[in-house]
Structure 1
């Protein structure tokens, strides 16, 4: 029992050490809201705001409650909710969701739900519900000890009592039963199995991967299905120009990119960063930026407009094309810039490595558009791509995939991934920018943004599982032979002690091999 307690302590210490390395705070909602009543603005807790109240949200602040815009125009960062990397333009009449971030202009919003029924609160509810449904993996050592320990104690007792009753001889059969009991002690298992997981967790931590328990390493070792979020996980979350469609043959791609880059250097919109690699030497005059729509300026006596369809509606310019970035020159359509979220450089290599591991299904779920999601899926050779999903739809789609492939894990980084993370069999949060919710509800946290570490984690988990199996086979095989010899009277006490301590020592050394294991090979 003492050795069993030691084994349990090692396992619990590994879990506690990992969990203490994780930030446990959640910062997913706007705690306060600016309530507008006539000329007066009062700051109150978000939970106390009633439906129909007008609240004001300044640039850089989170939307406190779901509502409809009644005044102002702006763009919203929706990545924390849907994973969509393109900012969402909003204006009077637009519906906005709690926890999205107001990027530019001031907005006044009429609330349509109280906090308890808001989008952010629903995500909290889904996380709690998923956590309650998930059945924890029962550790092998607990199951083994439950049956093995009483069995060998009864066997040792019978080994003494039956011959004693039949022959009346006490000393030799008592000695045999004591030898049998010593050699059957499960110390090699109760110490080496938790120690193997402890070493696997330690090795992971050294690689910048925090695993919250040995049972998650065991589940990862069995996985044959991987499900990824898109934005910030498989992609960088930054913008790039994927292609340019010319709408007027009078201009070349070089000309339109030069004009666009010159104009966008005067913009504060996140999409402007996509043009930073291009030359932008032209002087721009009379620059006008339309919040959530685009930018207009004059270059070399040409009036250049660059933005979405809403910009051209505001300028009364006919634009039959559709897109996030459309260019017109002197009122005539000139080009369409197709913007994409850049795929991480290590993503293709990870997909190839997972295939080498024997993964049969690799999928992606995203809140992003179908077009951009399909492009990422095509480049990476994914088996399944599911796009344009809200957080609860992501969770539903992931569970649907999990029914087809029960041994799966999910990798994500955002608040919108928290319900999926909590419902997944094994949840992995990745990246220094991972949201607090993702980190809190994940079973493993990869500190860096490097996707290579996902493959390294699978490698460590499988190595850990192999060592655990080796230790179990070693302990049970040697002890079974020694127990038979003890029962037949061919093993003295010194052999029993040597076998017990020797097997334990060898199993411990085998477990510690994990510390020198290179998961990248």
Structure 2
């Protein structure tokens, strides 16, 4: 299985024909052309020259290995086909000027129009003849028939103008598809092709393909990081926008993970490489985005089925228009001309491209914003979602327990917090780290504990400076010491508000308590309100926390429902029940709650950067740990659905209007080519509006 990047692939019809030509090669088992990513995957023995030959009908060529992704693209005005179009225009204009004095039927006038036709249409004619012999009626075949037919009935001027307009249409379509692909191209260009490494105590600059796991990457301030790895020396801030879409640089120090393609800002870093170049996060993102662009969305599958019957129908209609009125009226020239115009206006290019260009643009734009959408089907599904279920911890909340309140009694010659920390350092309790972090911020005195004991279901006990320290639940400490009614009520209120309490006693005296809670993200409320404004009908939280804790968090949020005390299997049941009524998306961390994420119409993973599980299993991965990307993703998906509907409507409406002009006999080749070109350009440029959608 080999993968090749290709140039000059600007037409969806051409992509399909190119794929068919490749599959006809004797040594090719299977070939798949990815129109959106402009690449081809081939299983079998084939050379680059064989591939070029299969694409020769439209100038499709393999991008040679030595060509760097960073190599400058040929400017629009320097491309050969665009130069040819301009030369053809010059002869059309000269022909018009001559016709004003010598007349349209004068030999000199016809000469200039014929030159314009030959310059602008030679390639069209050659391909058109080849296609017609194979009964392959694509746009070039239809154009060849129409132009030759126009010449036969003496419409040289119209034939020349049609050739020029078709060349312009092809050039603009190629330019537009390049614009649509610019998001994925920019991702491909961000990782440097070479890097400075230290190997066996020697510094050397090598291509990234030659870097091995375990090599030490040396990154200076202002340089891009070439490979994924872990910082082993240095401190800096790194701009990760290319991977995660985060606007602010992230602080990096020893032990922190860094990604290829990100920009080192202020300090020098030494990074131990942890992945080969083809396995880096950016490489995976590029691969997944390209695969996503290749996957046909439901609307595209419908359009493809429709186009299969549409083209033969148009050809039959054109033939009937040319023959039946001519037999009745005897005016063959007029009605043959009308039939030729129908052939031109009926080309399905705009219809076929209406969906893929929107999908390619939307998925590419999302990738630049740090949102990985794994295919057109998931993009469309997300656009239809009307209910979203959130995992609580790490999604709606920060996922890191922090101290919210601390209350200590005054005990003679004792720093109560220091005594508590001395015991908590030996504890395996999940909340112990929050207490230790809090103590660091308070500059607490360092004490040590002895004789540490865990009391099952109650707490821990240890000795600190000859004193017995007990730390545990409110109930246990209340059993062991005298706690006032006022303090009990105070602690109960904190628990009802969603806090977990660590209560302490020293030598049998109540010493104080520390309240700990997982804090809401600062933007959670804003995100949920945005989703409501986007038309999401039901927002709910799924959590394994106790009902009281879940309700305490839920009261602060604009949620429609809260489900607490849930095991992963319970969350799956909730999602399936919701799907009886709604199209449901599930938002989680991509590792936990896997059954619920998989069962939902769209599974959305938070913080996908560097997390292989999230990249591989989620339908949508928010690369940064940024909940704000969720309403952006929903909004982009809905806008894409709207644009696809508009594209299909534009493509069909313009053609129907043009075809109706046949009835009074007003349809001309000029109008036909304008209708076809106009529909294609409207579809493409309408889709390019998706590039402007930002977070």
**TM-score category of the 2 structures, normalised to the smaller one:** 0.5 to 0.7
Partner residue of 1:306 out of 471, 477, 484: 471
Segment of structure 1 superposing worse, 201-210 or 270-279: 270-279
Partner residue of 1:455 out of 603, 622, 631: 631
Pair 1:491-2:652 in alignment: no
Map Cα deviations across residues 292-318 of structure 1 (whole Å, 9 max, x no partner): 875434446532122359998xxx969
Aligned-residue CA RMSD (Å)? 4.0
**Distance verdict in 2 for CA 1:328–1:443, change over 3 Å:** same
- Structure 2's unaligned 5+ residue stretches are 1-10, 17-32, 42-180, 188-295, 489-494
Pair 1:219-2:395 in alignment: no
Map Cα deviations across residues 205-234 of structure 1 (whole Å, 9 max, x no partner): 001111111232222223222111122222
3-state SS of paired residue (2:601): coil
Inter-partner Cα distance in structure 2 for 1:492 and 1:232: 63
The CA deviation at 1:491 is 1.7
Map Cα deviations across residues 149-204 of structure 1 (whole Å, 9 max, x no partner): 44434433443454356556655433322311321222112124211110100100
Partner residue of 2:521 out of 332, 344, 358: 344
Pair 1:277-2:438 in alignment: yes
Q: Is the 8 A contact 1:346 1:450 kept in 2?
A: no
Map Cα deviations across residues 28-47 of structure 1 (whole Å, 9 max, x no partner): xxxxxxxxxxxxxxxxxxxx
Partner residue of 2:365 out of 203, 216, 238: 203
Q: Is the 8 A contact 2:422 2:446 kept in 1?
A: yes
Q: Is the 8 A contact 2:590 2:604 kept in 1?
A: no
Inter-partner Cα distance in structure 2 for 1:10 and 1:362: 37
**Distance verdict in 2 for CA 1:245–1:283, change over 3 Å:** closer
**Distance verdict in 2 for CA 1:305–1:435, change over 3 Å:** farther
Figure out how many residues of one structure are paired with residues of the other and give that number. 398
Q: Is the 8 A contact 1:10 1:198 kept in 2?
A: no
**Distance verdict in 2 for CA 1:224–1:272, change over 3 Å:** same
**Distance verdict in 2 for CA 1:227–1:157, change over 3 Å:** farther
Inter-partner Cα distance in structure 2 for 1:405 and 1:475: 32
Q: Is the 8 A contact 2:608 2:623 kept in 1?
A: yes
> 1:412 — aligned with what?
588
**Distance verdict in 2 for CA 1:157–1:199, change over 3 Å:** same
The structure showing larger relative contact order (alpha-carbon pairs under 8 Å, at least 6 residues apart) is 1
Q: Is the 8 A contact 1:418 1:437 kept in 2?
A: no
3-state SS of paired residue (1:415): coil
> 1:395 — aligned with what?
572
Map Cα deviations across residues 80-116 of structure 1 (whole Å, 9 max, x no partner): xxxxxxxxxxxxxxxxxxxxxxxxxxxxxxxxxxxxx
Q: Is the 8 A contact 1:262 1:281 kept in 2?
A: no
The CA deviation at 1:417 is 2.2
Once the two structures are superposed, the pairs formed by residues 53-452 of structure 1 within 5 Å of their partners are: 137=298, 139=300, 140-146=302-308, 148-163=310-325, 166=328, 170-243=332-405, 257=417, 259-265=419-425, 267=427, 269-275=429-435, 276-278=437-439, 279=442, 280-281=444-445, 283-286=447-450, 288=452, 290=454, 294-299=459-464, 301-307=466-472, 325-331=502-508, 334-335=511-512, 337-406=514-583, 408-432=584-608, 436-452=612-628
**Distance verdict in 2 for CA 1:433–1:372, change over 3 Å:** farther
Q: Is the 8 A contact 2:359 2:640 kept in 1?
A: yes
Inter-partner Cα distance in structure 2 for 1:204 and 1:192: 19
> 1:506 — aligned with what?
682
Q: Is the 8 A contact 1:3 1:190 kept in 2?
A: yes
Inter-partner Cα distance in structure 2 for 1:168 and 1:437: 72
Map Cα deviations across residues 377-410 of structure 1 (whole Å, 9 max, x no partner): 222221111122222221110121122223x311
Q: Is the 8 A contact 2:590 2:597 kept in 1?
A: no
Q: TM-score, normalised by structure 1?
A: 0.65
The CA deviation at 1:332 is 5.1
The CA deviation at 1:271 is 1.9
Inter-partner Cα distance in structure 2 for 1:319 and 1:460: 59
Q: TM-score, normalised by structure 2?
A: 0.50
Partner residue of 1:10 out of 14, 21, 35: 35
Inter-partner Cα distance in structure 1 for 2:309 and 2:481: 78
Inter-partner Cα distance in structure 2 for 1:344 and 1:243: 18
Inter-partner Cα distance in structure 1 for 2:646 and 2:40: 23
